[in-house]
Amino acid sequence: MRTSFAFIVAVSAALVAGSASAQNAEGAKVITECAGHPNALGVARVVEIDTTGGPGFGFEHFKAYDFLRDKEVVLTFDDGPWPGHTPMVLKALADHCTKALFFPIGKHAGWHPEILKQVAAAGHTIGSHTWSHKDLSNKKLTEEDAKAEIEKGISAVSVALGGKPIAPFIRFPALRHPPEMVKYVGSRNIAMFSTDIDSFDFKARKPEPVIETVMKKLDKRGKGIILMHDFQGSTALAIGPLLDRLHAGGYKVVQIKGKEALKSLPEFDEIAKKEIGGGVENARPMSSVIKTISE
């Protein structure tokens, strides 16, 4: 059932390249041309989400906002950043001049801030996926523990990006949404992302099943938010051919942006910094600090 979503998902008015509004100038525009890649997906539409009250998206769990049009997809990647795999995903996305939504794990962001900075530099949207990927519905976790998992995850991603605010989007580990935490992220005005099309890439050893699973579900459903993992080798190999298949199938990519950035909480920034270790926040891109001069 289609629900009125206009009040919450506002299609960015300034979609024409070159006329993007000032605060959204970076990346918030449709991309119709991709130098050297005539068959690129680009970005067909940019949508901005007003995350007040913590709306949920992805029909596997949340059915209130059916905002995608026929043949539209949103590309989402969880559990990174990860050496080798995340850069492969970034390369495939760049080859199609298209944009995705990433949900990094806080710990991984702390281990590989350089890779996460590459994700940000490429103009992708970055939300969070908790600190250590615990199932927040596990009864052994207290409510305070679960909140700390969420907030430390947000802080770690922000710290890894040099203290920048991140997008007000979260994906719960294993797509488990305990009611208390749904309420909590609502109070923080963070939108929750479930999925429409689960790639099950974590079960795949090779790229082919990932591509077939996504295309089969997509051709049946006609559109959707696709869940993949830049952490997974299967997806790192699948994503290039999958994007080719999406283009050939007439699918269009929608990029998601938050209306307001999400500010991490200072007390959790301190905790995250301590656990991550020193020097991350002010680090320059690695290539400008270290280069091989002989080998």
To Zn ion, the closest distance from the beta carbon of 95 in angstroms equals 25
Q: Decide whether 79 or 198 has the Cβ nearer to Zn ion.
A: 79
Q: Which stretch binds Zn ion (CB under 5 A): 13-21, 57-65, 74-82, 160-168?
A: 74-82
Between residues 104 and 224, which has the closer beta carbon with respect to Zn ion? Answer: 104
Nearer to Zn ion (CB atom), residue 72 or residue 79? 79
Q: Is the CB of 104 or the CB of 258 nearer to Zn ion?
A: 104
Closest approach, Cβ 1 to Zn ion, in A, equals 29
Closest CB to Zn ion belongs to which residue? Answer: 78
Q: Which is nearer to Zn ion, 79 or 201 (CB)?
A: 79
Q: In sequence order, what DSSP letters do the residues of 32-81 get, joined into one string?
A: ---TT-TT---BSEEEEE--TT--EE-TTT--S---PPTTEEEEEEES--
Task: Tell me which residue has tokens 């995350």.
Answer: 51
**Region at 123 (left for phi over 0; alpha for psi -120 to 50; beta for the rest):** left
Q: Which of 41, 48, 94 is nearest to 72 (CA)?
A: 41
79 binds Zn ion (CB under 5 A): yes
The answer to whether 201 contacts Zn ion (rule: CB under 5 A) is no
**Distance separating alpha carbons of residues 276 and 162, to the nearest angstrom:** 13
- Cα separation, 105 vs 20, in Å, equals 31
Interface pick for Zn ion out of 12, 56, 74, 78 (rule CB under 5 A): 78
Query: Residue 120 CB, nearest distance to Zn ion (Å)?
Result: 19
Task: Please report how close the Cβ of residue 43 comes to Zn ion at its closest, in angstroms.
Answer: 24
Separation of alpha carbons 128 and 80, rounded Å? 10
Residue 230 makes contact with Zn ion by CB under 5 A:
no
Name the site residues for Zn ion (rule: CB under 5 A): 78-79
